[in-house]
Amino acid sequence: MTENSTSPAEILPAGTTAPDFTLPTTPERSVTLSELRGRPVVLVFYPFDWSPVCSDELVVFTEALSRIGEHGATVLGISVDSVWSHQAYRADRAIGFELLADFEPKGVVAREYGIYESTGGFAGRALFVLDGAGVIRWCHLSPPAVNPGVDGVLDALSRLDAGDSSSA
């Protein structure tokens, strides 16, 4: 199960074990990716809090949380903004999942996933679906101004549920 749509050579491809990370979600709490093993994880990298396309994208994912949850998956949003920006943004936009701050050192996780945009200093708009073992099973990189929606993620999760664990 692979679809690396509009992806540059650097984006981590399906079949790759996702790099582990620990990122803060609040000043007091962090999330470690490997602690979520045993269930699918959806990583939603986005450029910035407060931008119109990012707001639309994260609202679409919030609206789809129950459908994503039917697959037992956890959704995590990741950008280079600070935890303080994330807290205000999440509350203002009623985002229903955790936002992680890839803030300092800036973009280190986005770089590991091959989607850091160094000219603009932000994470690219990318989606990764990881299986319960932490292997990337589907990924997609969109242009910064394009909301990729949630359909590809839901399709990838359905294929995981059906036992399709191929990555080619």
Active centre residues (catalytic): 54
Start-end of H helices in 70-162: 83-93, 108-112, 151-161
Question: Cα(161)–Cα(165) distance, rounded to whole angstroms?
Answer: 9
End-to-end CA distance of the chain: 6
Q: Strands, DSSP E only, in the chain?
A: 4-5, 22-24, 30-32, 41-45, 74-79, 98-101, 116-117, 122-123, 125-130, 136-142
- Vertex 54, ends 52 and 55: CA angle to 5°? 65
- Is residue 99 within 8 Å of 25, Cβ to Cβ? yes
